[in-house]
Amino acid sequence: MTKLSICIPLDAGAQDVFPLLTSLLENPLADIEIVLAKPSALQPSAEVSGLAAADARLKIRDAEDGISRQLLWYRALEATSGDWATLIKPGDVLERDLPIMLSFLETSSPGVDALAWNAFQIDGQAVPGKAASVAIPASYQVETLDKTAMLKTFFYWEGSLNSPKMPFGLYHAAIRRSLIDALLQMPKPQDWSTPVPQYEWAAKVLLFANDLAFSPRPMSAIGTVPYIAEPPLHPWNFPFHSGLGLAGAVAEVQFHVLRELQSEWTGAGEAFVRAVMIDCMMEKTRENYVAKGNAYYAALTVFDGGRLAPFFRPEFHDTRPVDSRRGLHDGALLVDRFLGGAQTPLEFFKIARHMMAPVGLMCGGTLRDADGKAA
């Protein structure tokens, strides 16, 4: 069986996927398959079609026209056959030696069925000389993480910004076949949709995974884009939703996943209100800040008798400090977003890869837990 299935959903307006495909398929011995999932009416380029004809590891799978982004992810995952699966977008990049790490995990810690890692965040709208630094972690020891702590971080918003700090899931993370099969047996969403399916998968992976492993060494790079609020599509009476902002979209996902498991959403505390305030404060114009703030405040006043509304006190800042430091700081090497002239995530990762520990070296030792003890 193939070690790693790489899902790439392709919808209208997506970036050219050909550079990513050629990068992933560069090594003819790489133990991977790539599932390119797309609506049937969307025709791949001649270069992509030619690549699929020349390399059997690339599979193009058609889905229903008009399919939601959320359901397209399901269609991609359903077409996989690998021991593990991950999902990235056409403008992203993935470490080509990831299958080596997955084989290592199977031997060193067979109970692990979810792997996460740091992912470089590469802002496509950044301007040279004004972009924030990108951190390359100096550590590379793979660790096991406590599931209870991760559940609190995600569902209770502990230490979050405008979204929970949660690397686990399907998007820029990997899950094992046993977990994939279990999650695909769950009912697919029919009465709702979300513009952030990565958080739906994060919630389900956290709830159903056995053991979690984390690599501080980045294994991918994400081409980041601003969140675009989309009108909600759900039949229930829940005031937080994707039309408000990213924090609202994540809360909506959490509510729905727990709702299907007949559990209550318990994330409405002061940490969530702080995340909502940060979501508002990230707006760059006062007009957008006021509109988003009013919408969030209205939602807070109708939720649970309005008990959280008094804690909602965001502030507008039209300028934000940019961390432009360089060099080693707090266990990470801070480098220029345009390192070596890199413009895209693919170009950045190719350069940064030479500054990080090789995956083969990382997998020569013993898997450790967060306290440094052998797992």
97-115 confidence digits (pLDDT tens):
999 999 999 999 999 999 9
Residue 366, Cβ density class (10 Å: 0-12 exposed, 13-18 middle, ≥19 buried):
exposed
Q: Which of 201, 221, 206, 189 is nearest to 119 (CA)?
A: 221
pLDDT tens-digit readout, 23-69: 999 999 999 999 999 999 999 999 999 999 999 999 999 999 989 99
d(CA 116, CA 212): 8
* Residue type at 26 in one-letter notation: E
110: Cβ contacts below 8 Å, ≥ 6 apart: none
| Helix ranges, the chain (H) | 18-24, 46-54, 69-78, 98-108, 147-155, 177-184, 197-208, 246-260, 270-281, 286-302, 345-352, 359-362
Distance, in Å, from the CA atom of 117 to the CA atom of 134, rounded to the nearest integer, reads 15
pLDDT in tens, 273-328: 999 999 999 999 999 999 999 999 999 999 989 999 999 999 998 877 888 889 88
> How does residue 365 score in pLDDT terms, banded at 50, 70 and 90?
low
CB 61, CB 35: distance < 8 Å: yes
DSSP 285: S
Tell which residue, 228, 89, 103, has the closest CA to residue 170: 89
pLDDT of residue 372: 47
Q: Is the pLDDT of residue 76 over 90?
A: yes
Grade residue 367 by pLDDT with cuts at 50, 70 and 90. Answer: low
pTM for this prediction: 0.93
Cα–Cα distance for residue pair 157/279, rounded to 1 Å: 13
> Across residues 136-149, what is the average pLDDT?
92
CATH number of 1-91: 3.90.550.10
Average pLDDT, the chain: 92
Choose among 63, 3, 9, 62: nearest CA to 33: 3
Tens-digit pLDDT profile for residues 240-288: 999 999 999 999 999 999 999 999 998 879 999 999 999 999 999 999 9
Domain residue ranges of the chain, discontinuous segments joined by +: 1-91
* CA 115 from centre of chain: 12
Using the predicted structure, report yes or no on whether residue 369 has a pLDDT greater than 70. no
Is 90 exceeded by the pLDDT of residue 11? no
Residue 81 phi/psi, 5° resolution?
-135, 0
Q: What is the pLDDT of residues 187-223, one digit of tens each?
A: 887 788 899 999 999 999 999 999 999 999 999 999 9
Taking alpha carbons only, the member of 334, 323, 343 closest to residue 128 is 343
Among 210, 202, 221, smallest CA distance to 157 is for 202
